[in-house]
Amino acid sequence: MTAKREALVLLPGFLCDQTVWEGQIAALSGVAACTCADYGTLDSLPAMAAEVLRTAPERFAVAGHSMGGRIALEVFRQAPGRVTRIALFNTGARARPAGPAGEEEERKRRALLALARSGGMRAMALEWIQGMIAPDRLSDGALVESIVTMFERKTPDLFEAQMNALLGRRDATGLLGQIRCPVLLLSGREDSWSGPPAHREMAAAMPNSRLVVVAECGHMSTMEQPAAVAAAMRTWLSGSPAAA
């Protein structure tokens, strides 16, 4: 008899879509029934999480990349009893910092939005990707083009909505210790946005977590190193899920 596949809801990050998860969907098709969320034009993380819950199965595993990881934490906050396990990739749990650091984050994001409006989404993506993937991967034309094309399919208005969601993110560090289901934390060793230190901090607060750091990998781990990410997810899915 074929084992029943676990329902797995995949949450893409900022300006991303199912493309970011294609390698994992293919690799895990035998063990997980995967669906990928779409947030529409929503402009807050709690609203995005509520939309995920509206369309998700009654019980499910959830994996989020970048902004999607923050949405995964909001999903747990809103419906902890429905979540069997959580995977958080290239993400964080802290709110936008107060003072100059937070102001600088907003300035950089708004500068990219201005470029998207004045020069188009492709021009913005070509600028943004410079710090997004591992430096050695910038010469990988196929990888770069797949990421740039994904962003190019979006609009400046969607950029602004998701930017506002991230700028308004609330602190989730107090939630981490409440998560008792199996947790996978994953970071790229060369991720300059949400690197290994942030993930080690989260792992220390989560009692049933496993941390994986992927070599030769930046922020776009699922596309830069799809096989390594899929292998980590397969191990995560093989453990006993949270009880109802």
Residues in CB range of 197: below 8 A, 6 or more apart: none
Rounded to the nearest 10°, the torsion over CA 33, 217, 18, 9 is 40
For residues 23 and 136, state if they share a domain. no
For residues 129 and 210, state if they share a domain. no
CB of 74 closer than 8 Å to CB of 91: no
pLDDT computed for residue 231 by the predictor: 98
For residues 17 and 75, state if they share a domain. yes
Domain tally, the chain? 2
Amino acid at 183: V
How big, in percent rounded to 5, are the helix, strand and coil portions of the chain? Answer: 50, 15, 35
Phi, psi of 212, rounded to the nearest 5 degrees: -125, 125
Largest CA distance in the chain: 59
pLDDT of 69-111, one tens digit each?
999 999 999 999 999 999 999 999 999 999 999 999 999 999 9
Nearest CA to 229 among 68, 129, 87, 70?
A: 87
Rounded to the nearest 10°, the torsion over CA 44, 47, 49, 51 is -130
> Does 176 reside within a domain?
yes
What is the dihedral sign for C-alpha 51, 56, 58, 62?
A: negative
pLDDT computed for residue 1 by the predictor: 42
> Does 244 reside within a domain?
no
For residues 91 and 106, state if they share a domain. no
Q: Which two tokens stand for residue 193?
A: 């946005």
pLDDT tens for the chain, 244 residues long, are 456 899 999 999 999 999 999 999 999 999 999 999 999 999 999 999 999 999 999 999 999 999 999 999 999 999 999 999 999 999 999 999 999 999 999 999 999 999 999 999 999 999 999 999 999 999 999 999 999 999 999 999 999 999 999 999 999 999 999 999 999 999 999 999 999 999 999 999 999 999 999 999 999 999 999 999 999 999 999 987 775 5
Q: Both ends of the chain: CA-CA distance in Å?
A: 24
CB of 204 closer than 8 Å to CB of 230: no
Phi, psi of 2, rounded to the nearest 5 degrees: -75, 130
pTM of the shown model:
0.96
How would you classify residue 22: left for phi > 0, otherwise alpha for psi between -120 and 50, otherwise beta?
Answer: alpha
CB of 3 closer than 8 Å to CB of 33: no
What is the residue range of 56's domain? 6-96+171-238
Q: Which residue has the tokens 């294609």?
A: 22
CATH number at residue 29: 3.40.50.1820
